[in-house]
């Protein structure tokens, strides 16, 4: 599968991050089984607890609009260079444990998690690889 459009959307979502405390931008793009794409970005809060990751933003947007059948998500992120203001995508940006558990709630074990630095530099994992033996309701 060609993930170019999904990677582009995730990289674009970096521009919407609200990160005045960490200066670490994260963008996500979630692909539904019917081809829709939901973008997400991380949004921080001074109290920290109310902050939300890009992955959960995208998933919750989709679920709130009735979507619950997901194929893949692209996650990209990196620190903002405070001198230049540019976001540096030097490393892969894997989902945190909370986001992995949210994915487990809504996604199959073979759900694709694509960690991208660019259109040509990415790695693909399944949810099972990143969260083996997850807690999940039997449906």
For residues 60 and 112, what is the distance between their CA atoms, to the nearest angstrom? 17
Radius of gyration of the chain (CA): 14
φ, ψ of residue 136 to 5 degrees: the values are -155, 140
The yes-or-no answer on residue 105 being catalytic is: no
Catalytic residue among 55, 80, 91, 105: 55
Neighbouring residues of 77: CB distance < 8 A, sequence distance ≥ 6: 14, 24, 25, 26, 27, 42, 54, 89, 93
* Cβ atoms within 10 Å of 10's Cβ, excluding its own: 32
Pairing type for strands 70-79 and 24-32 reads antiparallel
Catalogue the active-site residues.
55
């Amino acid at each position: 599968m060609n993930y170019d459009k999904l990677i582009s959307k995730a990289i674009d979502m970096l521009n919407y991050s609200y990160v005045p405390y960490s200066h670490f931008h994260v963008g996500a793009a979630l692909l539904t089984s019917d081809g829709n794409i939901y973008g997400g970005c991380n949004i921080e809060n001074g109290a920290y607890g109310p902050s939300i990751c890009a992955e959960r933003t995208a998933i919750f947007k989709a679920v709130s609009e009735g979507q619950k059948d997901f194929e893949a998500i692209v996650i990209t992120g990196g620190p903002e260079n405070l001198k230049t203001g540019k976001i540096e995508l030097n490393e892969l940006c894997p989902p945190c444990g909370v986001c992995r558990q949210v994915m487990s709630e809504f996604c199959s074990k073979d759900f694709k998690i694509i960690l991208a630095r660019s259109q040509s530099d990415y790695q693909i994992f399944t949810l099972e690889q990143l969260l083996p033996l997850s807690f999940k309701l039997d449906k």
